[in-house]
Amino acid sequence: MKRQIKEYIIRSIILLVGLTIAHLGVTLFLISDLGADPFNVLVQGVFRTLSSFFPILTHGRTHIAISLIIIIILLIVDKSYIKLGTVLCMVFGGPIIDMFNALIGGPLSKVDHMAGRVIMLVAGCVILAYGMTIVIKSEAGTGPNDLVAVVISDKKGSKFSITRIIVDAAFLLTGFLLGGQVGLGTIVCMALVGPVAGIFLPVNERLIKKIMSKV
List pLDDT tens digits, range 147-201: 999 999 999 999 988 999 999 999 999 999 998 888 888 899 889 999 999 999 9
Q: Is the C-alpha dihedral spanning 192, 194, 195, 199 positive or negative?
A: positive
Residue 215 has pLDDT above 80, yes or no: no
Query: Are the beta carbons of 146 and 88 closer than 8 angstroms?
Result: no
Number of domains in the chain: 1
Q: Which domain holds residue 9?
A: 2-213
pTM, two decimal places: 0.85
List pLDDT tens digits, range 60-90: 788 888 888 998 998 898 888 888 888 888 8
List pLDDT tens digits, range 108-118: 888 888 999 99
